[in-house]
Structure 1
Amino acid sequence: LQAAEDLNYELRITQIDVADLAGVAKGTVSYALNGNELIKAETRQRVLAAADALGYRRNVMARNLRTNKAGIVGYSWHVADDPSRMNNLLDEFIYRVTASAETHGYHLLTFIQPKEDADKVYDELISTNRVDGFILSDVRYDDPRVARLFSLNAPFAAFGGMNVPGAAFAHVDVDGKKGIEIVIEHLLSQGHERIGFINWHPGLPVGDIRELGYRTAMKAAGIAIEPDWIGYTPNILHSAAQATQRVMSTKHRPTALVCTNDVMAFGAKSYLDEVGLRTGEDVALTGYDDDPTAQFLGITSVRQPIDAVAKTLFELLLCEIDHKPAPQRQVVFEPELVARQSTSRAGTT
């Protein structure tokens, strides 16, 4: 090998060469490089080390022809120019999904979903065999993407689905109802009873299930919710601030505010700061998603296990692509409350 390099020859390193150096069979090399779970971790690492030492590069096109797969999974950015559908959780989710895909020898193709005729982009990607399947998120009631992919018999798995009645597709979710219930329980333990709620407008599955958690927990505590305690808003800072103003202008002003995501909590905090109400002292405040900014500002939030979601979701998608039964096609994770300075005891000032 060194002599060839000295003469500027380009050697085509094969899996046989990798097998010889690693001391394994050629078939083992193929399985190891493709992430087959039957290969022991120690053996896989030995194969990867040998491949790296030899500078081995897989012939992806040949593999794709042999397996009749593109090695690519599609993910749409929804309606990209809608600011209410942007958040840091989505960024982390895409990063984690990409990492999971690459672990299994896949790449993620992101594309913009147009406002009109969204089906066309899915049709084109499927008809041209550019992707093996799709990852969906932000699944809505009667989501046209779900119906279209079913009609095309295209493999897909979704982040979100437990809130959609009759969801028969493979999906991974985090229990949003439970997430809000543990927030309410925390605030009740801090002595709060007048608890306001800032949420998306009704009709969005993720918001509806979280509002159900709010109503369920308040009812269980024997607290009647005043209609003015609930404010609806898009996922935009200034709109959330306006919703907070409406809620905090009521006769029996809440001593605590529960927001269904961190962006809304930031908007709520901006209003509270503007009128001189101290977060964590005059008014308790919570968010949802545990955004890095929430951590910096000391806002109590609900953390979702996005890494586990992404890994499980991609494994479900692989089962759909390979037409293999998954141990569980619909997986729900538990959220975690992260309490910080923004949720002090009621009446401490």
Structure 2
Amino acid sequence: MVRNRATLKDVARRAGVSYQTVSKLLNRQIRLSEETERRIWKAIEELGYTPHYNARSLRAQRSFTIGYSWPPSPPDETNPILDQFLQSMFVAAEARGYFLLMFPYHYQVDKQLAAYAELIDAGRVDGFILSSVEYNDPRIRYLQDRKFPFVAFGRSNPDWRFPCIDVDGGRGLYDVTQHLITLGHRRIAVLAWPEESRVGNNRLEGYLTALSEVGIPVDHALILRGEGRLDFGYHATHHLLSLPLPQRPTAVVALNDYMAIGAMQAAQERGLRVGEDLAISGFDDIPLARYLTPPLTSIRQPIWEIGQQVIQHLIDIIETGVPPEPRCLLVPPTLIVRASTAPNAKASALSNSPSAKEVVNR
């Protein structure tokens, strides 16, 4: 036997209030006493009531849906940072009564903008979350021209103003480079991203600043650029270890953990002990980092918190029409020191267990 769907009036009758009161509570348009709210939510749970999506959207003139698209990962590499970011956004959106709509990412600008235009014109979404933001990002200009709500995870051109949250990647590279300098390293190589990478350049600034502060001249032969993948880290490190001995690095800083893992493999193939003969660090602190041999020093991003914040900021803009202040929030990362940058064999052996205590530098 098919059970009839509970209605708003059924909930109101059981809770002893008007159906207008129930509707306003669900749409966050009213504040009620704790006892009254408790009765309404209890009635909703007992009756299994769910608001009719189309009716709710029609009343509010909103879709209660947020659009998000991202560049696909290489087929041979997972992206645990993206997974955490998505899960965080799902949770934050659901808590505010919204859903996330995923749609394909297009590298061609015209196709990319056409996808955004179609969703806006069809009324499918109330706003967008942007990530993988680069210089002169066409999505930002387009959405600003359309006066359509969005929040970006990442900055773009220095003179562009738009709602965003970003990790201070420069601070992260500064901290890990300073950590290596403190351990006595002076020839520190960096595995960087291509010059057009806005995120890569932000991170590289921290490395350059740390060297400059202690008077270490920049050796451009120790700055290698490429895609942030395992194979680039592997081949780039083999190249670095083939340099003449006076120029060869004693430490390698990678702009992500995958490049650092490739670097570790290359060093170990050369018979070097990572952490003792060659210090290696990464960025992102993916779950695998602590289980490597030796465990990888890395920069941890507060991804879960950022996923929560971008959703909260966007929904606030959607519901109030007012951008948050400060317009762009810069979040500091955390340096996690493990055995891959250990200054001696004893420290390396001690930290080689996944259960070993991590040193957190803030």
Unaligned runs of 5+ in 2: 349-362
CA distance in 1, matches of 2:73, 2:253: 27
Residue 213 (structure 2) aligned to one of 204, 207, 220:
220
Residue 113 (structure 1) aligned to one of 82, 105, 109:
105
Equivalences for residues 45-194 of structure 1 within 5 A = 47-78=40-71, 80=72, 87-116=79-108, 117=110, 118-161=112-155, 164-194=157-187
User: What residue is the counterpart of 2:341 in the other structure?
Assistant: 343
Does the Cα contact within 8 Å between 1:133 and 1:156 map onto a contact in 2? Answer: yes
Unaligned runs of 5+ in 1: 1-7
User: What residue is the counterpart of 1:290 in the other structure?
Assistant: 285
Residue deviations 1:282-322, cap 9 Å, x none? 11111101101112111011111112111111122113323
How far off its partner does 1:28 sit?
Answer: 5.7
How far off its partner does 1:191 sit?
Answer: 2.1
Q: Structure 1 residues 58 and 142, CA, compared in 2 at 3 Å: closer, same or farther?
A: same
How far off its partner does 1:236 sit?
Answer: 1.7
Matched AA of 1:113 = Y
Give the paired residue count. 340
> What secondary structure sits across from 2:97 in the alignment?
coil
How far off its partner does 1:207 sit?
Answer: 0.3
Residue 277 (structure 1) aligned to one of 244, 260, 272:
272
CA distance in 1, matches of 2:287, 2:22: 41
Q: What percent identity do the matched residue pairs reach?
A: 39
CA distance in 1, matches of 2:76, 2:136: 20
Does the Cα contact within 8 Å between 1:71 and 1:132 map onto a contact in 2? Answer: yes
Does the Cα contact within 8 Å between 1:31 and 1:39 map onto a contact in 2? Answer: no
Q: Structure 1 residues 71 and 256, CA, compared in 2 at 3 Å: closer, same or farther?
A: same
User: What residue is the counterpart of 1:243 in the other structure?
Assistant: 236
User: What residue is the counterpart of 2:199 in the other structure?
Assistant: 206
Structure 1 residue 312 corresponds to structure 2 residue 305: no
- Give the TM-score, by structure 2 length: 0.85
Does the Cα contact within 8 Å between 1:33 and 1:44 map onto a contact in 2? Answer: no
How far off its partner does 1:39 sit?
Answer: 7.0
How far off its partner does 1:324 sit?
Answer: 2.7
Does the Cα contact within 8 Å between 2:275 and 2:344 map onto a contact in 1? Answer: no
How far off its partner does 1:32 sit?
Answer: 4.8
How far off its partner does 1:276 sit?
Answer: 1.6
Q: Structure 1 residues 279 and 33, CA, compared in 2 at 3 Å: closer, same or farther?
A: farther
CA distance in 2, matches of 1:190, 1:220: 16
Does the Cα contact within 8 Å between 2:163 and 2:323 map onto a contact in 1? Answer: no
Matched AA of 2:250 = T
Q: Structure 1 residues 58 and 186, CA, compared in 2 at 3 Å: closer, same or farther?
A: same
CA distance in 1, matches of 2:90, 2:175: 31
How far off its partner does 1:21 sit?
Answer: 5.0
Matched AA of 1:314 = I
CA distance in 1, matches of 2:98, 2:106: 25
Residue 196 (structure 1) aligned to one of 183, 189, 200:
189
How far off its partner does 1:135 sit?
Answer: 0.6
How far off its partner does 1:45 sit?
Answer: 6.7
Structure 1 residue 255 corresponds to structure 2 residue 247: no
Structure 1 residue 229 corresponds to structure 2 residue 229: no
> What secondary structure sits across from 1:342 in the alignment?
helix
Q: Structure 1 residues 55 and 35, CA, compared in 2 at 3 Å: closer, same or farther?
A: same
Matched AA of 1:114 = H
CA distance in 1, matches of 2:197, 2:53: 41
Matched AA of 1:105 = G
| Pairwise CA RMSD | 2.7
User: What residue is the counterpart of 1:326 in the other structure?
Assistant: 324
